[in-house]
Structure 1
Amino acid sequence: MNYVKTAVLLAGMTALFMGVGYSLGGQGGMLIALLFAAATNLWAWWGSDKAVLRMHGAQPVLPGDHYGLYEMVDLLSKNAGLPTPKVYLMNTDQPNAFATGRNPENAAVAVTAGLLRTLNKEEVAGVVAHELAHVQNRDTLIMTITATIAGAVSMIARFGMMFGGRGDSQRSNPIALILTMIAAPLAAMIIQMFVSRTREYAADRRGAEICGNPLWLASALQGISRGVQQRPMISAENDPATAPMFIINPLSGARLDNLFSTHPRTENRVAELEKMAGAMGARLAPRGREFGRGGASGGAQGGPWG
């Protein structure tokens, strides 16, 4: 079913491309936009995951590195019945994470250095489980494609504004160019919003099942939300179209669950996880035990990651 949704998404984004092209250059501009959209769609399918990892300076993590991060991802992947994805580390102080890849066999999970410094092991496990849920639900392809194409739509709109547009039978209309520059990225953002927000709750639920304790993820979301408000992520500011891929919006500590929020409100997500924990009888035990001792569903909360 997600492949059908992806096809519909690609068609919609292609139509948006063509609309921008027509507004900036008439029928000729629409044709150029169509060709550009076709190339972007093909590239987004096969190579956008690697491009997103490069945008954020993510470096591969090997077994034995970074306090057992790879081993944690491997264990949780087995819990989820997934092949172990590639693991990456982003050298930024903001605590955050995302997953990417066109399918579970070609997936990657990336976390920031700030996440490892800020959260304890159980909280990191909750975050990793959430990202693995995106992989299992095949959300990563859709989110990566929307990030890539939304960025391309914004780029072509800026390009038209810089060099002007020409219709088939009229001169450039500066007002139309300004409206296009504003409306095209806004339309792409709204598409991203619906793609991202509708999947976060599902990934939270499945992630809680994978790690075994919804409160690990709930606590992690609260910690990440505080960290995002305090520490900017320069790579995300430079490429804001990738923001919906992250577990918490890296561009701001936005707390309003409104039309223009790409993520659900953190408090709402935490409330849902707490309800789930109550139904499961899960709790956070005193700090001091480490993730993995007694299994991923033991219910203990570990000490600091470092």
Structure 2
Amino acid sequence: MNRIKTVFLMTALACILMAIGGAIGGRSGVMVMFVIATAMNFFSYWFSDSLVLRAYRAQPVGEDHYLYRIVADLAQRADLPMPKVYIIPTEVPNAFATGRSPSHAAVAATAGILDLLDEDEIRGVLAHEMSHILHRDILISTIVACFASTISMIANIAQWAAIFGGGRDDDGEGSNPIALLVTALLAPLAASVIQFGI
């Protein structure tokens, strides 16, 4: 079911991007947004996990660390492939799973949560994260975050285009400032509604 949700989500958000492109730049705007949406789908599917881990400066953990042993035990019990295990050097207590599928997954925990919780509590937190891997929730949430931030950025562009007169459409006429303003207001709302729905 989550595979169907993922395809639906990628299609819906790509359509929103193309509608924004159409409001800003006519047919050429639709084509530009189509290319952007295709590139985003590709990168969010194949590289989202490594980008997230790099952004958090996550450090890989070896078999000698108790965090690795907990994840290995949970993976065996859930009949999942062993995900990569990382520690994030921050005192903020948090843990998350990322990756496009169970065979390409990673689990990360912050130094803060490891200091705050005992081993049984950490096992419970990691079991929750492993359930996200099992049900492929991690790909959906990663794609939603990627598209929502892009739609918000493009809405900002539309807002500034409306303020400064926009560009030209395919017929060489100025863009409709009302359409730009509506796009600037409704695009982030549409992205948020989809994000909350997921």
TM-score range, shorter-chain basis? 0.7 to 0.9
1:12 corresponds to: 12
Q: Deviations over 1:275-296 (max 9, x none)?
A: xxxxxxxxxxxxxxxxxxxxxx
SS of the residue aligned with 1:94?
A: coil
1:146 Cα shift? 1.4
2:187 corresponds to: 184
1:173 Cα shift? 4.5
1:193 corresponds to: 196
- What is the rounded CA distance, in whole Å, between the counterparts of 2:62 and 2:195 in structure 1? 32
- What is the rounded CA distance, in whole Å, between the counterparts of 2:185 and 2:54 in structure 1? 27
Contact 1:165 1:173 in 2 (8 A): no
1:237 corresponds to: none
- What is the rounded CA distance, in whole Å, between the counterparts of 2:155 and 2:55 in structure 1? 21
Amino acid across the alignment from 1:88:
Y
Task: Label 1:188 to 1:56 Cα distance change in 2 as closer, same or farther (>3 A).
Answer: farther
- What is the rounded CA distance, in whole Å, between the counterparts of 1:171 and 1:94 in structure 2? 49
- What is the rounded CA distance, in whole Å, between the counterparts of 2:180 and 2:155 in structure 1? 8
Amino acid across the alignment from 2:36:
F
- What is the rounded CA distance, in whole Å, between the counterparts of 2:4 and 2:145 in structure 1? 18
- What is the rounded CA distance, in whole Å, between the counterparts of 1:56 and 1:186 in structure 2? 28
1:111 corresponds to: 109
Identity of aligned pairs, percent?
A: 47
Q: RMSD between aligned alpha carbons?
A: 1.9
More helix by share: 2
1:56 Cα shift? 2.2
Aligned residue-pair number: 193
Amino acid across the alignment from 2:197:
F
- What is the rounded CA distance, in whole Å, between the counterparts of 1:94 and 1:23 in structure 2? 41
1:158 corresponds to: 156
1:21 corresponds to: 21
SS of the residue aligned with 2:109?
A: strand
Contact 2:94 2:110 in 1 (8 A): yes
Amino acid across the alignment from 2:57:
G
- What is the rounded CA distance, in whole Å, between the counterparts of 2:57 and 2:186 in structure 1? 30
TM-score, scaled relative to structure 1: 0.58
Amino acid across the alignment from 2:112:
G
1:60 corresponds to: 60
Unaligned 5+ segments in structure 1 are: 196-306
- What is the rounded CA distance, in whole Å, between the counterparts of 2:167 and 2:147 in structure 1? 21
Unaligned 5+ segments in structure 2 are: none
- What is the rounded CA distance, in whole Å, between the counterparts of 2:160 and 2:60 in structure 1? 38
1:275 corresponds to: none
SS of the residue aligned with 1:110?
A: strand
Task: Label 1:55 to 1:161 Cα distance change in 2 as closer, same or farther (>3 A).
Answer: farther
Deviates more, 1:10-19 or 1:166-175: 166-175
- What is the rounded CA distance, in whole Å, between the counterparts of 1:112 and 1:172 in structure 2? 48
- Mapping of residues 62-77 of structure 1, within 5 Å: 62-65=62-65, 68-77=66-75
Q: Deviations over 1:228-257 (max 9, x none)?
A: xxxxxxxxxxxxxxxxxxxxxxxxxxxxxx
1:135 corresponds to: 133
